[in-house]
Amino acid sequence: MIDTFNAADKRAVVAGDTADELGKIKAFIVDVGANRVEAVQVSGRGRKADIVPWERLRFGGDAVIADSGDAPEQVSDDRDLDAVKGRVTMRGSRVLATSGFELGTVEDVSFDSESGALVAVRTTDGEVDASHLCSLGSYALVVDAEE
Amino acid sequence: MTHLLRAGDLIGHPVVSIATGEDIAEVRDVVYDADRHRLLGFTLNKRGVFAGRMKEVLAAEAVTGIGADALMVADDSAITDTAPGEGPLRHPKDASQVVGNRVVSSDGNALGEVVGVVLSTGGRPEAVGYEVEAPELSGTAFVPISDQMAVSGDNLLVPAESTEFIRNDLAGFGAAVSEYRQQTMPSTADQPGANS
């Protein structure tokens, strides 16, 4: 199934063992090098940012099931911290081609809800296939799309 | 189509790492060798409002793409304070100047005064022309660079046969440059930056 970041925003994250709602999806943490969703950030827990690694999720269309109530973990590395603090996020990011020309800003990202693989990035200028992504930094999402 | 840029418009442009998506510097000035009509590279400023000059420089060969919005480099190692361009890139004041030169055709017509350098964009950026303030040619004109040009610091002598490729707009000049290069230097058209 193809899902998108915008469609999955605020989707409930439920613990598979206790059926407790752990929170709602607040953000996606993406590994642009590996072309996949690495983790989701879960909100509404009144604590520091919690993320759930992709490997511990089943990504359903109405709810996301974590393998257990203790699946959410603290952010450990700087890059993930930048992501949960909103400093480095796909959506809203400037898109910059390796040719040095800007290609709009990111509006939405589609991904495979089974594997977590990114499919495409929708920008204000059009769509970029995920295979063209190079890196995501605080300045831009760099893509090698040919003009 | 070849997209062209004025070198001066690159000042303030971010230098962005393709490896990380971070802006690692911005262009302070463009360093250009008028004797060989070659783009040497760029001096840099740190990013940010109160940021000053960086001691690192960016050699033209380390740039993987120059566009209207950014200069792209592979990674942080592209900017270095041990640049291969010992000399002009280190000491931009030593680079020979072309801006301000009077442009004279080889058949003796004064065309105007050089006000800037025009660069090609894309993967292998190079200087392709000069922007000339030319009252005789109704304002600004663009003159293609060729090996036959001679520059003294006072005068830039251009071959008379190149004057038919002079254009008044950058878009039209891109096509004129391609055509002119195919006629005059088919070998260098394939190898920009080749040091003959």
Give B4-49 pLDDT, tens digit per residue.
999 989 999 999 999 999 999 999 999 888 888 888 899 999 998 7
Beta-sheet strands, E only, within chain A: 2-4, 12-15, 21-31, 36-43, 50-53, 57-59, 63-66, 73-74, 94-97, 102-112, 118-123, 126-129, 133-136, 141-143
Residue B22: list chain A partners with CB under 8 A: 137-139
> What span, in angstroms and rounded, lies between the C-alpha atoms of A9 and A11?
5
Q: Do B68 and A100 touch (CB under 8 A)?
A: yes
Q: What is the average per-residue pLDDT within B108-136?
A: 87
- CA-only gyration radius of chain A, Å: 15
Question: Cβ(B62)–Cβ(B72) under 8 Å?
Answer: no
Chain A residue at shortest CA distance from B123: A99
Instruction: Give the gap in angstroms from C-alpha A61 to the nearest C-alpha of chain B.
Output: 32
Find the helix or strand (DSSP H, E) in which A81 lies.
helix A78-84
CA B52 – CA B64 distance, rounded (Å): 25
How high is the mean pLDDT of chain B?
A: 84
Residue B144's nearest CA partner among B181, B107, B114 is B181
Residue A33: band (very low, low, confident or very high) from pLDDT cuts 50, 70, 90: confident
Three-state DSSP class for residue A51? strand
Give me the mean pLDDT over the B125-141 stretch: 84
Of A84-88, A97-101, B55-59, B155-159, the least confident: A84-88
Chain A residues touching residue B14 (CB < 8 angstroms): 139
* Closest CB from A136, A139, A141 relative to B23: A139
A132: burial class by Cβ within 10 Å (0-12, 13-18, 19+)? middle
Has residue A125 got a pLDDT over 80?
yes
| Average pLDDT of the segment spanning A12-36 | 92
In this prediction, residue B192 carries a pLDDT of 47
Nearest residue in chain A measured CA to CA from B70:
A100
Buried b (16+ CB within 10 A) or exposed e, A71-110: bbeebeeebbbbbbeeebbbbebbbbbbbbbbbeebbbbb
Token pair 């499919």: residue:
A119
Q: Are A52 and A108 in contact (CB under 8 A)?
A: no
Do residue A135 and residue B17 have CB atoms under 8 angstroms apart?
A: yes
Rounded to an integer, the average pLDDT of A51-67 is: 94
Closest to A140 (Cβ–Cβ): which among B21, B64, B68?
B21
What SS3 state is found at B59? strand
CA B153 centroid distance within chain: 17
Three-class DSSP category at A131: helix
- Partners of B20 on chain A (C-beta within 8 Å) are 135, 137
Say how far apart CA B184 and CA B196 lie, in whole Å: 15
Structure tokens at A40: 């989701």
Contact B21 A101 (CB under 8 A): no
CA distance A101 to B5: 12
When the pLDDT of each residue in chain A is averaged and rounded to a whole number, the result is: 90
pLDDT band at A85 (very low <50, low <70, confident <90, very high): confident
Per-residue pLDDT band at B153 (split at 50, 70, 90): confident
Cα gap B144→B37, rounded to integer Å:
11
Q: Please indicate if any CB of chain B lies within 8 Å of the CB of A92.
A: no
